[in-house]
Amino acid sequence: MPPYTHTGPVTCDQAFDSSSLKGKTAIVTGGANGLGEAYVRALVAAGLNVCIGDLDAAKGQALEAELPGTKYIPCNAAIWDDQVRLFQAAKSLSPSGRISYVVANAGIHRPDEVFQYAGDDQEPQKPDLSIINVNIHGPLYTAKLAAHYFISQNGQTPSPEQEDTCLVLIGSGAAFLDCPRAPQYCASKWAMRGIMHSLRRTAHYYGSRVNLISPWYVKTKILSEEDFAHVTKVGVQFAEAEDAGQCLLRILSDTSINGHSLFVTARKWASRGYMDLDLEDYPGNALVGEIQEEQMWSAPVSAGLFVIGSTAGCPTSRRVALVGLAADCSYRAAFSSAEETRRELITMVNAASEVFERRFNVSLGIRNLTISDGDCPETGSQSTPWNVGCGSGDLDWRLQQFSSWRGAQDDSNAYWTLMTNCPTGNVVGVSLVGELCSPNRGANVVVRTSNQWQVFAHESGHIFGAIHDCESSACASQGQCCPLSRSTCDAGGQYIMNPSSTSQQTDFSPCTVGNICSLMGSDQVRTDCLVSANAAPTTITSGECGDGIVETGEECDCGDNCDGNACCNGETCRFVDGAVCDDAAGSCCTECQFANTSTICRPSTGACDVQETCTGHSSDCPADRHVSDGQSCGNSSSLFCASGECTSRDLQCRDRLNGLGTDVSSCDDTSCQLSCSVDFGSGSYCRSMRQYVLDGTPCRGGLCHSGRCQNSEDSSRDSSSWIDRHRPLFIGVVAGVGGGLLLGVLIAILCACCRRRTPVTKGRLAEAPSAFSGSSPPPYWMQGRA
DSSP 424: B
Q: What is the CA radius of gyration of the chain?
A: 30
Return phi, psi of residue 571, to 5°: -85, -35
CB burial of 383-402 (b: ≥16 within 10 Å; e: otherwise) equals: ebbbbbbbebbebbebbbbb
Is 626 within any annotated ligand binding site? no
Q: 345: which residues sit within 8 A by CB, 6+ positions away?
A: 325, 327, 366, 369, 419
Phi, psi of 452 (to 5 degrees): -60, -40
- Under DSSP, is residue 482 helix (H, G, I), strand (E, B) or coil? strand
For residue 679, CA distances in Å to 25, 152, 156, 661, 750 come to 20, 11, 18, 10, 12
DSSP state of 578: T
Residue 309: count of CB within 10 angstroms of its CB: 16
Q: Which of these, 759, 10, 35, 672, lies nearest to 436 by C-alpha position? A: 759
Q: How far apart are CA 108 and CA 101, in angstroms?
A: 22
Do residues 424 and 399 lie in contact, with contact meaning Cβ atoms separated by under 8 Å? no
Read off φ and ψ for residue 44, nearest 5 degrees.
-65, -40
Where does residue 576 rank: exposed (0-12), middle (13-18), buried (19+ CB within 10 A)? middle
Pairing of strands 261-264, 209-215: parallel
Torsion of CA 55, 194, 285, 217, to 10 degrees: 20
Distance CA 367, CA 349 (A): 11
| Longest distance between any two alpha carbons in the chain, whole Å | 104
Residues 293, 287: Cα–Cα separation, whole Å: 10
464 and 436 Cβ atoms separated by less than 8 Å: yes
DSSP labels, 224-268: -HHHHHHHHHTTPPPB-HHHHHHHHHHHHH-TT--S-EEEE--TT
One-letter identity of residue 345:
L
DSSP-derived pairing of the beta strands 702-705 and 708-710: antiparallel
Whether 468 has a binding-site annotation, put simply, is yes
Task: Check: CB of residue 592 under 8 Å from CB of residue 658.
Answer: no
Angle 97-102-107 (CA atoms, 0-180°, nearest 5)? 140
Collect all residues with Cβ–Cβ distance below 8 Å to 140 and sequence separation of at least 6: 195
Nearest to 365 by CA among 571, 536, 569: 536
C-alpha dist (Å) from residue 131 to 187, 291, 325, 657, 679: 10, 33, 65, 35, 33
230 labeled part of a ligand binding site: no
The residues that are catalytic are 459
SS3 (DSSP) at 126? coil
What residues contact 653, with CB distance under 8 A and at least 6 apart? 664, 665, 666, 674, 676, 677, 689
d(CA 615, CA 600): 10
99: region left, alpha or beta (phi > 0 left; psi from -120 to 50 alpha)? beta
How far apart are alpha carbons 543 and 554 in whole angstroms?
7
Annotated binding site for Zn(2+), which residues? 458, 462, 468
Which residues are known binding-site members?
458, 462, 468
